[in-house]
Amino acid sequence: MHQDKKRTKGSSLMRGLGAALLLMVPALVFGADAPPPPNKGDISWIMTSTVLVILMTIPGLALFYGGMVRGKNVLSLLMQVMIIFCMGILMFAIYGYSVAFSEGTNQFFGGFSKLFLKGMTGDSLTGTFSKATNIPELGFFIFQATFAAITPGLIIGALAERVKFSALLVFIIIWLTFAYYPIAHMVWFWAGPDAYTSQAAADAVFAHNGFLFNKGALDFAGGTVVHINAGIAGLVGCLLIGKRVGFGTTALPPHNVPMTMIGASLLWVGWFGFNVGSNLEANGFATLVFTNTLLATAAATMAWILVEWVVKGTPTMLGAASGAVAGLVAITPACGWVGTMGSIAIGAIAAVICVWACSGLKRKLGYDDSLDVFGVHCIGGIVGAILTGVFNSPALGGTDVYDYVANAYPDPAAYDMGAHVISQLWGVGVTLLWSGIVSLVAFKLIDMTIGLRVTEEQEREGLDTVSHGERAYNN
Amino acid sequence: MKMITAIIRPWKLDDLQMAVARLGVQGITVTEVTGYGRQRGHSEHYKGSEYQVEFVPKLRVEIVLDDTSAEAVVEAISNVCRTGKTGDGKIFLAPVGEAVRIRTRESGAAAA
């Protein structure tokens, strides 16, 4: 619709001059080598992505898990997710951001230069994946804070319906400090693209980049940092806490599958913030990351229910919800490294392997990973991480890894898939070992002091009344 | 007085209610129950866990009335709730010692 705006020839010239003057202001104010001011589109996108990840946690993950437990325990899951989220945010502000994302003396832990977000204001800047392109550092902080706050929430699925609330919160504090922050640092901390002015400059920053970053392990949005990390912690936890009372003999079906579907849908939608926000810029490449996330998840959902249909006779809503999550987990490390058709393959392959992990493997090994934290997040994350090394290949539609010294992509013919997969296996292996050991020590210490599990009587009564003095449904 | 307790398929309730209303029955109580007789349940599967669900949802319908009307009502319920397949349900009759209408304090058959 055209408004009756009157435009004279002179006023458009004035607007052009004005725009040119405006563009010169940063150079006039900051000088010739000034960091370029952030693009408002990029700032909008990092904030929007952050909101989407918050939505993934509250209420996405909460409802996803809540629907899968029995009615007498639903509040306990909702509480655990929400309170862990709040704790995670605060811890990240106080010291987590500094430990994960500031330069340390080694490749494993950051330093304390950003304790209490020291020195960070609305004008502080941080780099992206493009040279001479910054976003507000607080934007990066809030985004990463939501990651640090959702990841521990994943673990609770393995301990559902029997963990003591206080014990869980203490575990999360220890695990975030000694597993999440260092692994985030190892995988994601680097000097930034602007430091790579020459090979000598690249070599100089190597010693302070993260250990796994230096190994070439690719993890665009957190396949290792979030999913394998939380997944193995979940497995260790469910083995130590033991099976639920009645597991194997009593039916323990989900009390509200529609609630789980709502949660899974919120997770899928929010995940576009999780994956595409990890691009740190709202540019053309971000739309590829979006596409990959969309395709992989759709493929995974279809694959999961097709397996169910053939093997079990009926496709289920719970299966569709789980398939979607499995696909999302698998595409998380890959979304910025692979092509669109590669994403479809990754989603489908991960879903099929995860279906087996949540049924055959689980039954064979006999552990009670109540909400399949290991089966979906750890296994899905491992599959996704390895396939990232495969489908990153230009021959398979991938992007390969940009060379910031040469300012170009490498020769496609030179792609060494073996070397890439080995780099990915470094990420997988170190994360499994590091997080597994931290979790083992933490769970054991807690069990020996305050106790990890409620009593059998309390478990039969239900955690909602026992731990929270509330009933979810009062009619 | 007799109490008729009928365990029926849930979707048969409307048919039952209309049939007994035609015979002059003015009071009825319905509860949701679960159980089985010869009709067994089915299997459900939730992400790798398979459950054999033995219990089947039913409705329990209770009607208290005088002895003379009881037989006709039992017959009517039986006819209207029959499908011929396992799971049609059962009807039990039991004697009732006393009945009281709370509002008027009437007792005996007048209160049933």
Which residues of chain B does A363 touch, with a Cβ-Cβ cutoff of 8 Å? 48
pLDDT of residue B52: 83
Q: Given 1.20.120.450, 1.20.1370.20, 3.30.70.3280, 1.10.3430.10, which CATH number is that of A39-468? A: 1.10.3430.10
Best of B43, B47, B50, B51 to disrupt the A interface (most A CBs within 10 Å) is B47
Q: Taking 60 as the threshold, does the pLDDT of residue A25 lie above it?
A: no
pLDDT of residue A2: 43
User: Interface pTM (ipTM) of the complex?
Assistant: 0.81
Q: In chain B, what's the furthest Cα-to-Cα distance? A: 59
The helix (run of H) or strand (run of E) holding residue A206 is helix A199-206
pLDDT tens by residue, A109-155: 999 999 999 999 999 999 999 999 999 999 999 999 999 999 999 99
Shortest distance, CA A322 to any CA of chain B (angstroms): 8
pLDDT tens by residue, A87-121: 999 999 999 999 999 999 999 999 999 999 999 99
| Measured distance CA(A54)–CA(A446) in Å, rounded | 29
Residue of chain A minimizing CA distance to B49 = A359
Query: What are the Cα distances from residue A49, in Å, to A53, A154, A293?
Result: 6, 19, 14
pLDDT tens by residue, A271-308: 999 999 999 999 999 999 999 999 999 999 999 999 99
Domains of chain B (ranges plus CATH)? Answer: 2-111 (3.30.70.120)
Pairing of strands B2-8, B29-35: unpaired
**CB neighbour list of residue A420: distance below 8 Å, 6 or more residues apart:** A216, A218, A389, A390, A392, A393
Q: What dihedral angle (degrees, nearest 10) is formed by the CA atoms of A318, A322, A323, A329?
A: 170
Nearest Cβ partner for A358 among B44, B47, B53: B47
Query: For the whole model, what pTM was predicted?
Result: 0.90
A·B CB contacts under 8 A: 30
Q: What dihedral angle (degrees, nearest 10) is formed by the CA atoms of A366, A371, A373, A377?
A: 120
Residue of chain A minimizing CA distance to B43 = A312
A59 strand-pairing partners: none
| Measured distance CA(A449)–CA(A447) in Å, rounded | 6
Nearest Cβ partner for A316 among B45, B51, B53: B45
In this complex, is the C-beta atom of B85 within 8 Å of any C-beta atom belonging to chain A?
no
In this complex, is the C-beta atom of B46 within 8 Å of any C-beta atom belonging to chain A?
yes
CA–centroid distance for B100 within its chain: 21
